[in-house]
Each structure stands twice: as C-alpha cells, then as structure tokens.
C-alpha cells in the first residue's frame, strides 16, 4: 500500500479531487500555503494499492499543468534602509509536487 501526498495549486485542486474521486480514489484535502509566493496551495492525501500508483500519478499529471504567471517581488530602493519597491516578476506556477510513501499498516475504523 502507498500514501501519495500531492501538493498542488489551489486553482487545480477542485478539478483534481473530482477526477480522482471519479476514478474511485479516496482523497483527503488539506489547505496549505506555499513558501516562495506565499500563495494558497492544497495538499491531498491519497491512499492506494501499489499497482494503482501510476493511475493516480497520471491523473495528477493530466490535471496539474505548470504555467507562467506575473507577480510582484520586492526590491530594495537605493539609499533607503528597509525600503522596498515592487517590480514585476514572471514565475512558473502550477504543476504538482508528489511524494509516494510506503505504508506499513492501514486501518480504517
């Protein structure tokens, strides 16, 4: 048995949960926050048999596409201690981070 931990952007979360549930997988959804952009992420916990891991990863890959997005990043203003002047920055968002862990024991009460 495996536990998959999928960290996805909030924009992709609802569609991903729907696709996984339509395929017969149980999903636990946790609200999380990303460190770099401090934007909302969703962490999904998915337990499944070893043989079904490729199915889950395929669904995640299909739904969670990386894309480019403009954001503002602070830049120090010359001569002003602690002053910041935001400037536009293009970053890649979306996609997914997926961890696959072996589960020694699973108990459903």
8 A C-beta contact, residue 17 and residue 62: no
- Please give the Cα distance from 106 to 109 (Å, whole number): 10
- pLDDT tens per residue, the chain (109 residues)? 999 999 998 888 999 999 999 999 999 999 887 665 566 789 999 999 999 999 999 999 999 987 776 666 655 555 555 555 566 766 656 678 999 999 999 888 8
Domain segments of the chain: what residues?
2-102
pTM, to two decimals: 0.74
Strands 84-94 and 66-76: antiparallel
8 A C-beta contact, residue 43 and residue 6: yes
SS3 53: helix
DSSP 36: S
8 A C-beta contact, residue 53 and residue 4: yes
The CATH code of domain 2-102 reads 3.30.70.120
């Amino acid at each position: 048995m495996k536990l998959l931990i999928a960290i996805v952007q909030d924009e992709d979360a609802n569609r991903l949960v729907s696709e996984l549930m339509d395929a017969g997988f149980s999903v636990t959804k946790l609200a999380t926050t990303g460190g770099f952009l401090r934007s909302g992420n969703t962490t999904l916990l998915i337990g499944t048999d070893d043989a079904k891991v490729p199915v889950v990863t395929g669904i995640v890959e299909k739904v969670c596409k990386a894309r480019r997005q403009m954001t503002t990043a602070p830049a120090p203003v010359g001569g002003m201690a602690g002053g910041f002047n935001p400037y536009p920055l293009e970053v890649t968002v979306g996609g997914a981070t997926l961890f696959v862990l072996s589960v020694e024991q699973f108990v459903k009460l």
